[in-house]
């Protein structure tokens, strides 16, 4: 596997040569009620509860189950992030606790959007994910960035994103990452971005939080 790097004012863009790496459908990946869910490495156990399996065509109208305190959300990979976030808030408004589901290969697991340890930490590395398959990493307070982009622009390259975050964690000794994702970013890429940052650094624990809009 080869990478081409371009170093300039805006940083570095690394391009992987394996088109579709991590983006293709795999028969061994976790699927719930016909919904293929994203893959992640930094997962948690998924407790029992009612499950909502939703696609792009059903996510906005699916009914939140009654009775179960925990609602497991199996969301199709292609659903845009703004609609995923809206469903999470709808489940909370119904008095339920949402649990996002991802796959560890064929096994169904839970996935955290944010880590408690990242809350209130002022100094953080910034990761920004775009819908064109590019993700950029900025050190605390910097205006320059290092970026990675998949060759076809159709997915976030999690492996190279990990490498860029790991480099910044080591150089700046910062173990908090703030992730900013575009509203139209596919749910699978949201997971890749958060998971890539969270699992960047082997034995070094990195905490992740989402960037809030002003006043949000």
pLDDT in tens, 127-183: 999 999 999 999 998 989 999 999 899 999 999 999 999 999 999 999 999 999 999
Write out residues in the chain with pLDDT < 50, as ranges.
1-26, 215-216
CATH architecture of 3-17+114-210: 2-Layer Sandwich (3.30)
Residue 71 to residues 56, 110, 212, Cα–Cα distance (Å): 18, 11, 24
Whether the Cβ atoms of residue 72 and residue 99 lie closer than 8 Å to each other: yes
Q: What is the pLDDT of residue 212?
A: 79
Closest C-alpha among 59, 100, 101 to residue 83: 59
d(CA 62, CA 79): 14
Q: What is the pLDDT of residue 28?
A: 84
- State pTM to two decimals: 0.86
Residue partners of 175: CB distance under 8 A and separation at least 6 = 169, 201, 204, 205, 206, 207
Q: What is the pLDDT of residue 48?
A: 87
Task: For CATH 3.30.420.270, list the domain ranges present in the chain.
Answer: 3-17+114-210
Q: Per this entry, what is the length of the chain?
A: 216
């Amino acid at each position: 596997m080869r990478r081409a790097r371009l170093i300039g004012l805006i940083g570095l863009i690394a391009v992987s040569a394996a088109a579709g790496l991590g983006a293709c459908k795999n028969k061994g990946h976790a699927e719930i009620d016909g919904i293929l869910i994203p893959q992640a490495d930094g997962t948690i156990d998924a407790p029992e509860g009612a499950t909502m399996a939703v696609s792009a065509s059903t996510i906005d109208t699916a009914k939140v189950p009654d009775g179960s305190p925990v609602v497991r959300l199996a969301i199709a990979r292609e659903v845009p992030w703004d609609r995923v976030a809206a469903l999470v808030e709808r489940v909370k408004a119904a008095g339920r606790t949402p649990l996002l589901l991802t796959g560890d290969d064929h096994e169904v697991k839970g996935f955290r959007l944010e880590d408690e340890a990242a809350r209130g930490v002022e100094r953080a590395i910034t990761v920004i994910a775009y819908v064109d398959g590019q993700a950029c990493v900025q050190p605390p307070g910097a205006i320059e960035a290092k970026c990675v982009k998949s060759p076809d622009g159709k997915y976030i390259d999690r492996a190279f994103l990990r490498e860029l975050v790991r480099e910044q964690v080591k150089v700046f000794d910062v173990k908090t990452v703030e992730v900013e994702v575009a509203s139209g970013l596919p749910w699978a890429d949201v997971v890749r971005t958060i998971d890539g940052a969270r699992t960047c650094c082997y034995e070094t624990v990195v905490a992740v939080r989402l960037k809030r809009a002003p006043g949000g």
